[in-house]
Amino acid sequence: MTHNTIYQQRLTAVRQQFTTWQVDGVLISSPSNRRWLSGFTGSNASLLITPNNALLATDFRYWEQATAQAPDFTLFKHQRRAEDDEAFFAAISAANIGIEANHVTLTEFDRLQAATPINLIPLAETVEPLRQIKSAAEIEAIAAAAAITDQAMAQVNNLARPGMTEKELAWTLEKTMRELGADEMAFTVIVASGPNSALPHHHPGERVLQRGDAIIVDMGAQLHGYKSDMTRTFHLGSEPDAQFWAVYNLALAAQTAVLTHAKPGMTTLTIDALARDVITTAGHGDHFGHGLGHGVGLDIHEAPFLSPLREEKPVVSGMTVTVEPGVYIPGWGGVRIEELCHVTSAGLEPLSRCPKIPIIHL
């Protein structure tokens, strides 16, 4: 399969949605959606897709890059003037064009609508449901990003020492991932130590690591646009108390239940419940206040969302999902263990392979 064919297939798939969306074209400007549809990686562009046209509008900085990266699209030279917006819409014929309601600001909406008599129809989602099903090449890219994360995470047992701050450990891990080839971080590295480990998305700060701390490390490398996401929880020192083991083994049992029993065809809620039931039965239901997981790809958090707070959807082969149960006890600390998985006909196949060795020997 050639490079171009993938983008032609994606264009066909998006055009097949027009009837459902009740539009006769769509304007795509969010970075991940336009990259997935066109291959273009620059910071500014809009795609205008109708049954007969596929236009990519971008400014002078990107004309050469767009021509090279997005040969399935016709380049429209756009210098961000009002007359360029008018000419862009005038290049196609349509009555109703969908736009990305979760990306376009109210200011941009007013500017675009003023440029054309075409009705702009806000759509809650466009290609996000299509992006859930990963191609073999996408899975390869995500696995490559996950492999870098694996190698860096495996260093934590050697790197984390009493006396260093959360920020110092986070920077060392970021540097390690860059040295291993990461283009950038998929998100800011999370290091949460001691009582801070009770905060699911703690931002690493000046707290000094101490013997006896639980330490949550949640991080991911990004490579060729694709992201990865993994969490491990550690104990600083050889003798954790009974509470640490109880909470650690509970989170692990919840994750194991999902990795063992989740199958394609189950819903997002059913899979979330596989973990949540284990934690609730142990009396810690109130201490698991977030969803079980999410898809990962060009975005760090993308569909599907395995959460009781989100709409129930089927989970099918080809998706990626994280499995990240957590137990957070205010004042004491917390444990989260996260594995990034590929959904296959057999079940959930982990893409992250770093072993779980919670004890940091000092």
CB of 218 vs Zn ion, minimal distance in Å: 4
**C-beta closer to Zn ion: residue 141 or 153:** 153
Q: How far apart are CA 12 and CA 14, in angstroms?
A: 6
Binding residue count for Zn ion, defined by CB under 5 A: 5
CB of 104 vs Zn ion, minimal distance in Å: 27
**C-beta closer to Zn ion: residue 126 or 322:** 322
CB of 297 vs Zn ion, minimal distance in Å: 12
CB of 200 vs Zn ion, minimal distance in Å: 9
Site string for Zn ion, 148-167 (x = CB under 5 A): --------------------
Question: What are the backbone angles phi and psi of residue 188, rounded to the nearest 5°?
Answer: -60, 130
The DSSP H or E segment spanning 204 is none
**C-beta closer to Zn ion: residue 48 or 216:** 216
Site for Zn ion in 185-244 (CB under 5 A): 218, 229, 231
**C-beta closer to Zn ion: residue 23 or 198:** 198
Q: How far apart are CA 92 and CA 88, in angstroms?
A: 8
CB of 351 vs Zn ion, minimal distance in Å: 13
> What six digits make up the tokens of 278?
């284990």
**C-beta closer to Zn ion: residue 100 or 128:** 128
Q: How far apart are CA 247 and CA 328, in angstroms?
A: 9
**Closest by CA position to 362, among listed 215, 161, 90:** 161
Q: Are 18 and 24 in contact (CB under 8 A)?
A: yes
Q: Which residues contact 205 (CB under 8 A, 6 or more apart)?
A: 165, 166, 167, 196
Site for Zn ion in 17-56 (CB under 5 A): none
**Closest by CA position to 104, among listed 120, 115, 118, 117:** 120
Q: Are 38 and 70 in contact (CB under 8 A)?
A: yes
**C-beta closer to Zn ion: residue 150 or 229:** 229
Q: Are 70 and 6 in contact (CB under 8 A)?
A: no
**Closest by CA position to 142, among listed 80, 76, 227:** 227
CB of 187 vs Zn ion, minimal distance in Å: 8
Site for Zn ion in 266-325 (CB under 5 A): 322
Site string for Zn ion, 329-348 (x = CB under 5 A): ---------x----------
**C-beta closer to Zn ion: residue 49 or 279:** 279
CB of 225 vs Zn ion, minimal distance in Å: 18
CB of 227 vs Zn ion, minimal distance in Å: 10
Show the beta-strand stretches assigned E in the chain.
Answer: 26-28, 46-49, 54-58, 74-77, 96-100, 119-123, 184-185, 190-193, 214-219, 221-223, 226-227, 230-236, 293-295, 302-306, 320-323, 326-329, 333-336, 339-344, 347-350, 359-360
**C-beta closer to Zn ion: residue 197 or 231:** 231
CB of 103 vs Zn ion, minimal distance in Å: 22
184-185 and 221-223 beta bridge pairing: antiparallel
Q: How far apart are CA 40 and CA 64, in angstroms?
A: 11
**C-beta closer to Zn ion: residue 77 or 290:** 290
Binding site for Zn ion (CB under 5 A): 218, 229, 231, 322, 338
